[in-house]
Structure 1
Amino acid sequence: MLEAFIPDCCNAGVLFRILAAVSGGLFLILAARGETGLLLLQNFAEAVALMVPVVLGSVLILCKLRTVMPKAGLHPWLQRLSCGMVPAILIWLVAELFRMIDVLDVIYPRFQRLPVMATVFVTGMALQRYFELRTRAYSPVLAEARLQALQARIRPHFLFNSLNTVLSLIRQDPRRAERVLEDLSDLFRALMRDARIMISLEDELQLCKQYLAIESVRLGERLQTDWQITGLTDADIREIQVPALLLQPLIENAVHYGVEPSLQVATVSIHLKKSLNKVDVTVKNPQHTPGYAASGNQIALDNIRQRLSLLYDVEAGMTSEALNSEFVVKLYFPAKK
C-alpha cells in the first residue's frame, strides 16, 4: 500500500486547524475589503454559514479517501489534488443548493462561482501542503524517539538477568526455561519493530503479560500485578489499534523503579477503561526513592508523549506524577479500530 498524502481528517486536531485556518482567512479577506463593525461581523457570519458545511463535508470525505486511495495504489499527486478538488466541488454543490431555494442571491448577491471555487481549491491544496510538511518536520522527532525508546527499553541488565534466569532453570525446569526464552524472543522481536506500526490492543496486552512473566520468574513473589479492565469488551480489545510498544515501556518502568528496589511485596497496578470513544490507561507502582519523576524513566515517558502527539495530535495525551507513596502514569488515546 502506498503512503497516505491526505491529512488525517478524522483527527480532531486536524479538523480544528482547518476550521481555524478557513475562518481566519475569511475574516482577513473581508477586513481587507475595508468592511468594519457590524457589516464585517454580518458578512463574516454569512460566509462562515456557507463554508462550514463545505469544510465538514470535505473533512468527512477526505477522511474516507485517506484510507481508500492509498490502498487503490493511486499516485500521490492524485491524493494531493483530491484535497483541493473535494472542497471545490462541494462549494459548487452548496451554492447550487442555496440558489435552488432562492437564498444565494439574497445572502450572497456578489457570489461568483468560478473565483470562489478556485480560491477554495488553492486553500485546500495549501492546507494539504502544510500538513504534509508538518508530518515531515516531525519525522526526525520520531526517529530520535525510537532511538531513545530502544535505549530506555533494552536495558543491558534486563537481558543479562533474563538469560541468567534461563540458565538457572534449564536443569531444574526445562519447560519453564523454554517458555521464558519464547517470551523473551517475542519481546525483543517487538522491540525491533518500527515505532509507527499499529497493532491490536490485544497484542500489546499480550506483550505486557509476556514481559511480566519473564520478570516474575526472576523477582518471584515480590512482583504482584493488579489488572483491571472496565468498559472494554473482548471485541474491543481485539479490534482497537494502538502504536506498538505503547504500554509495555510503562510497565517495564514500573517494575524497574517500583519492584526491583523493594525488599517486600510490591504491586504494579494496570487499569484500562473505555469511556465514549476513548481508552484511559493508569499504571501505578510503589515509589521508593525521592525524585523518582526526574530519574531515567523520563526518557521512555517523553518518547511515548512524542509518539502520542505525532500519531493522535490533541486526541491523546499522558501525565505522570508522584502521589503519596506511588508513582502514577495516566494516558488516554482514541479507541480507533
Structure 2
Amino acid sequence: MGYKGFSDFRSDTVTRPTEEMRKAMYEAEVGDDVLGDDPTVKRLEELAADITGKEAGLFVPSGTMGNTIAVKLGSKEGTEIILEEKSHIYNFEAANMARYASVMPRPVESKNGRMKIEDIKGNIKTVLREHMPSTSMICLENTHNYWGGAVLPVEYIEEVKKVAKKSNLHLHLDGARVFNAATALKVGVKEITKHFDSVMFCLSKGLCAPVGSMLVGSREFIKNARILRKSFGGGMRQVGILAAAGIISIEKMTKRLEEDHIRARKLAEGIADLKGLTVDLNSVQTNFVMVELKNMNSTQFLDELKKEGVLALPFSETRVRFVTHNDIDDNDVERAIKAIRKMLK
C-alpha cells in the first residue's frame, strides 16, 4: 500500500525507505563530505565501484546530475553524442547536454531501445570538417524507460563497445535501473557495466533509498566528476545520513528485484485478454507494464482507476505505464487487475 492508501504504480521512484534504512540513517557516522570526511559516503562509493567493476565512485544527488557530469566529461564541446531517440538523457533531462556540455545529440531510431549496430556506425563522424561536428560519445540506456523497461543483452553491449573502441569514443551507460537489467538477464551487474567507460545508476528507484544516484568510472574520471559535482551545486556536507540508505540499497535491495518482475508479469497477464486494451507480454521484461488503450484516453482511464484506489502514469494520450516496486505487494496487483477488469468488462 502506497501514497495515501493507494496502490501506487506510477513509478518505482515512489518507494519509501525501509525500516532498516531509516535505522541506518539515524545511526550513520557522518562527516563533511566536501572535505572528504564522511566515512559512510566513502563506504558507499567504494561499494558502488566494486560491484560495477570500476576504480572509483561518486555519490550524486540525482541521476540527471550523474548523467550530465558523464556527458560533460565524456564528450568534447562542439561534438556530437550518439543516443537512442527515446532515451531519457535526450528527452527528459532538461536539455542538459546542450546547457552544460555544449554538445549536439545525434538521436538514432529504434523499436525497443536497441539501436542497430549499422545505424550507430553510420552516424559516427571521425573526419572533422569546418561545417560538421565529429562524434565523441555513445550513450546507452539499460533498462530503457520509454520502451517499458526493455533490456539490452550483454552480447549487444559487447558489439557497441567494439564500435566505440574502434573510433575511440567514450561509452556511457544510463543505468538508472541497471540492476533490473542484470536481474532479468540473470547475470551479475558487473557483466553489464564492465563494458562502459562510465555508468550512472539510481539508488532511489527500485532500490528504495530516499535520495541519490551513483556515478562510477576510472579514478581520473571520478576525480574530475567530483569537481563538476561541486560546480553544479551537488557538494553536500554530512550526507552520510543518505549514503547509509544507499549502502542497504546495494547490499540488499538489489537482491529482491525479481519479486517486482514477477508481479509485473502477473499484472500484465491478468489484463492481457481484455478487448479494451493491448499489452505486449513479450515486452514485459522487468518491472514495467505498458498498456495501450483502445476506447478511452489515458486521462479517462486513470481517473476511473483512481476511484478504485489505483494510481498509474500517463505516457501518451492512449498509453499508460504501471511500475512494480518494493511498496507494491500481491494484494496491490490483484487490486489493479480487478479495477481494470471492472472498467473494461
TM-score, normalisation: structure 1:
0.26
Report 1 or 2 for greater relative contact order, CA contacts < 8 Å, sequence distance ≥ 6: 2
- Is the helix fraction higher in 1 or 2? 1
TM-score, normalisation: structure 2:
0.26
